[in-house]
Structure 1
Amino acid sequence: MSAIHELQPHALWQHFSAICDIPHPSFHEEQIREHLIGFAKEHDLEWQSDAVGNVIIRKHATPGMENRVGVIFQGHMDMVPQKNNDTVHDFPTDPIKAYIDGDWVTAEGTTLGADNGIGMAAALAVLAAKDLHHGPIEALFTATEETGMIGAQGLQPGVLDGKILLNLDTEDEGELYIGCAGGTRIEVNGEYATETPVDNFVFKTLAISGLKGGHSGCDIHLGRGNAIKLLIRALHRLEAEGVRIASLTGGSLANAIPREASAVIAIPEASQIACDNIIDQCSNELTAELSVVEPNLTLTLSNAAPAAELMSLQDQSKWVAAVNACPNGAQRMSDSIEGVVETSLNMGVLTINEGKVKAHILPRSLVGSCNDALSDAVAGLFRMLDAEVIFSDSYPGWKPDPDSQILAIMKRVYAELYAQAPGVKVVHAGLECGLLGSKYPEWDMISFGPTIRFPHSPDEKVHIQSVAKFWDLLVATLKAIPEA
């Protein structure tokens, strides 16, 4: 365990430290699942695991509170695996190296997994506690939330008995969330003809790096650079000098804003000086445009080994134009909720190699019809290139209920604890509440959490003091749950 287990509240941080030691990226949740089941057995708690890998742990009410409304804690088991290029880390096998950095806890060169490890840790701390006051509790730990909400998709109605859902997966202390955007994952699969390069090409790697990246829902309003889109922009300019693409790779997840992208390119020998000038111009333009939000942006050209194949000139022109034209970022702000993005899109992954083009794109919207319209527009763009376009893992938004009983309770509790009113918000990121509410429409739902910055990127960090406030609010809320 690192020194983080000594932080307050001890129980929560001890569980979070243990979670950091257990590899749990999406699709590799076996060890964390076994940890949860082992925890339930150790504490003599009822548990079950369903067909899609969700884990449910139940705890009886403390004496005198048996007639309170049942509460469900909900968080997800997986974390987003992102690392810096110079960091050696194998997410399915290596622990997260968490450490204290001033007022924050962060990790060495990787995502921290505070999203949603802190939520899991809080639930475990309540389940293990002997000195708290609460009614019946069920803790739902869902599988593979970050790449399709698979656990929430597969949860069956009638399994859980509680009526109030506390989702522990938002990232601003002092704010209570009562709604979220829905989304659809788009996979694009295309093909291109190849050509053998001629002798008068010089091979280089064009790379963009130093971007902040981040969560494609929570951070999309910040206007950060998308490495794929910026690289394609530069390549589009270079096409005028006869530059050809041998391969390209950018991004790693549909729901993470790409921080890095690179392409192996073939430059005609006679065009080297002209291409150097274009790259300098692009670098200066991007630096000027994004100096505030991306101060460390770099566009570099370095030597590369010769490639055996190039993208055909005709196909290259089509694909570069299509990716360049594809929408990206915040598309529309909400008319009804001030300051919240209504509709957005993130091109999270693009690869071009060996005659194949693959892209992963994630549109989101608070309005279902707007999400559908944007998804159809993207599909239409790439289908004009005869690409296969697959929609998957669609999830509904969560419609806000300003008259929610648990909202009223938590607003009162927060004001009593901190002598100020909490914010009431809708988040553009996708929460599992929309899917869960479609299966349990009787649930009264709310989401809250500590302050986490830069989730889904290696800069992820969680504010220490906010974790203590999050815990105090959770404990006080459980005590304030009304009778059934």
Structure 2
Amino acid sequence: MNEHLDALSPAPVWRHFRTLCNTPRPSGHEAELVAKLEAWADGLGLAHDRDAFGNLRIKKPAAKGCEDAPGVILQGHLDMVAQANAESPHDFTRDSISTYVHDGWLHAEGTTLGADNGLGVAAALALLESTEVAHGPLEALFTLEEETSMGGALSLDEGWLEGSLLLNLDSEARGEAYIGCAGGSDAVVDARLPQTPVEAHERCLDIAVTGLAGGHSGLDIHRPLGNANRLLARVLRLLEFADARLVSYQGGTLRNAIPREAFARVALPADEIDAVTAKVQTLEATLRGELAPADSDFALSVKPVAAADAPDEALNLDASAMLVAALHAAPCGVERMSAEVKGVVDTSNNLGVVQLEDGRAHLCALVRSLHDSAVTAMVDRFRALFGLIGARVKAEHGYPGWVPNAQSPLLATFIDCHQARLGREPAVKVIHAGLECGILGSKYPALDMISFGPTILGAHSPDERVDIDSVEEFWTLLKALVETLGRQAAE
């Protein structure tokens, strides 16, 4: 499958990316890919091992004459975000990603592409097999479960890696080098809320927010994109005049993807249905005006539930009102822009996953910040807000940020290579996303690190796509940098 990738350049990178597309690898399901890569390494005679968590390392000795160069770690994550359009039957645990080229960009058919971080992994594999690049000692570190929990990096064995320089291949804009990133934590809310029977005079409606563009909850959080959970909470808040009671709710599937869809079922007096329908239709027109043009496909629908499908219970009126109010008031989006780095988001939150079933409410929001203290404060705001409705709130999967070092020798070498090979200096930036560098730096504080990669747009959404020309540029730069480092004597 995906044979057309073999016709793209650079051929070694796209050949490996084809393998990744053809191997299902959502977070937590990387075992098949790991086995393939180990067999591939065996075929080349490359040493490989895993740490206790299952992170994979493949090692390649220095080329002749480069034995004294500093060791370089090529780092990326094997898993990908599993997001598909509602009409797609794709099973990320079984099906290959189907790709196509349009106007110089590689896309997937109705799903995420997995260029994040598949192209970084593919480039590392291509470099490991290359016989044309003079290099010092190489280690390729491929981590697991980055997209869901940073679990691989957080569990990485200390004292395992040998290199002193780390090239993270997981950023998404050509012509840029990243030297810092946000830390983050999940704010997880759980509550058991009281229910009462759906009465004879009540009927049920299904309300749906669909058609939003979605996006990466860090890289795209500053863009004017609708969040389906925030929008549906606004709709539900509007319906309190009709004594609408929540029966169920499902919004978003990943805490690190801006939710594109959200669905709720409510019970309300039958004689309020016409008024509710009219208000929803009016609100749809209002929201279309607010969301255009970024979310031009937005739709808000209301549909009666057949009597045969009516539920037995809904939240009682007070519990429903409190939950809706908390969702409506919850922090969402950009909280603060950075005072130190112009144009960079300092602190944000993505109201990523909201669920309600049988009276059990669950929410998972991903908080990001350049300051760990701000992450703690934001999680505490969730604790304070949802504590008012008796919910339990905890912080999970926390990870540190990566403090920028503008004086990095590795950065200086990268800038020189970029200028020499591409005729221009790169923009040096800090990213509002959870690169694994922050975690790796906490475990290996002596590492000198930078992050760079090809241009990927729409990551974490089915609109994900990669600029094919930027992959050629990325590969050229990676080879040049590794060759330059290979000529440097180890300190």
The bucket for the TM-score relative to the shorter chain is over 0.9
Alignment of 1:382-397 (within 5 A): 382-397=386-401
Q: Secondary structure at the match of 2:37?
A: helix
Give the letter for the 1:171 counterpart.
E
Distance 1:78 1:151 in 2: 10
Alignment of 1:164-203 (within 5 A): 164-203=165-204
**Corresponding residue for residue 277 of structure 1:** 278
Shift in Å, 1:423: 0.5
Alignment of 1:336-415 (within 5 A): 336-415=340-419
**Corresponding residue for residue 451 of structure 1:** 455
Is the contact made by 1:331 and 1:345 (CA closer than 8 Å) also made in structure 2?
A: yes
Q: Secondary structure at the match of 2:95?
A: coil
Shift in Å, 1:243: 1.7
Task: Answer yes or no: is 1:461 the counterpart of 2:465.
Answer: yes
Shift in Å, 1:120: 0.6
Is the contact made by 1:342 and 1:366 (CA closer than 8 Å) also made in structure 2?
A: yes
Alignment of 1:209-288 (within 5 A): 209-288=210-289
Shift in Å, 1:266: 2.1
Give the letter for the 2:314 counterpart.
L
> Which stretch shifts more, 315-324 or 300-309?
300-309
Task: Answer yes or no: is 1:76 the counterpart of 2:82.
Answer: no
Give the letter for the 2:68 counterpart.
N
Q: Secondary structure at the match of 2:222?
A: helix
Shift in Å, 1:177: 0.2
Deviations 1:18-71 (A, max 9, x none): 110000000111111111211111111010011101000000111111111110
Shift in Å, 1:200: 2.2
Distance 2:383 2:474 in 1: 41
Deviations 1:93-148 (A, max 9, x none): 11111121221111111111101100110000011111111111000000111111
Deviations 1:411-468 (A, max 9, x none): 1111111211111000000010011001111110000000000111111111100000
Give the letter for the 2:143 counterpart.
T
Is the contact made by 1:248 and 1:353 (CA closer than 8 Å) also made in structure 2?
A: yes
Give the letter for the 2:140 counterpart.
A
Shift in Å, 1:290: 1.0
Number of residues of Structure 1 aligned to a counterpart in Structure 2: 484
Deviations 1:318-374 (A, max 9, x none): 110011100100110001111100000011100111010001111110011111111
Give the letter for the 2:452 counterpart.
F
**Corresponding residue for residue 36 of structure 2:** 35
Distance 1:73 1:425 in 2: 20
Distance 1:419 1:101 in 2: 28
**Corresponding residue for residue 99 of structure 1:** 100
Q: Secondary structure at the match of 1:23?
A: coil
Distance 2:356 2:397 in 1: 24
Poorly superposed stretches of 4+, deviation over 4 Å: none
Distance 1:244 1:380 in 2: 24
Give the letter for the 1:238 counterpart.
L
Deviations 1:365-396 (A, max 9, x none): 00111111111111111122211112111100
**Corresponding residue for residue 24 of structure 2:** 23
Paired-residue identity, %: 44
Is the contact made by 2:52 and 2:157 (CA closer than 8 Å) also made in structure 1?
A: no
Give the letter for the 2:69 counterpart.
R
Task: Answer yes or no: is 1:480 the counterpart of 2:484.
Answer: yes
Unaligned runs of at least 5 residues, structure 1: none
Distance 1:413 1:386 in 2: 57
Distance 2:102 2:32 in 1: 28
Is the contact made by 2:382 and 2:393 (CA closer than 8 Å) also made in structure 1?
A: no
State the superposition RMSD in angstroms. 0.9
Alignment of 1:49-88 (within 5 A): 49-88=50-89
Unaligned runs of at least 5 residues, structure 2: none
Is the contact made by 1:4 and 1:100 (CA closer than 8 Å) also made in structure 2?
A: no
Q: Secondary structure at the match of 1:220?
A: coil
Is the contact made by 2:179 and 2:428 (CA closer than 8 Å) also made in structure 1?
A: yes
Distance 2:387 2:182 in 1: 26
Distance 2:247 2:325 in 1: 16
Q: Secondary structure at the match of 1:72?
A: strand
**Corresponding residue for residue 442 of structure 1:** 446
Q: Secondary structure at the match of 2:353?
A: strand
Aligned counterpart for 2:317 among listed residues 303, 313, 318: 313
Distance 1:145 1:447 in 2: 15
Is the contact made by 2:222 and 2:345 (CA closer than 8 Å) also made in structure 1?
A: yes
Is the contact made by 1:223 and 1:329 (CA closer than 8 Å) also made in structure 2?
A: no
**Corresponding residue for residue 333 of structure 1:** 337
**Corresponding residue for residue 44 of structure 1:** 45
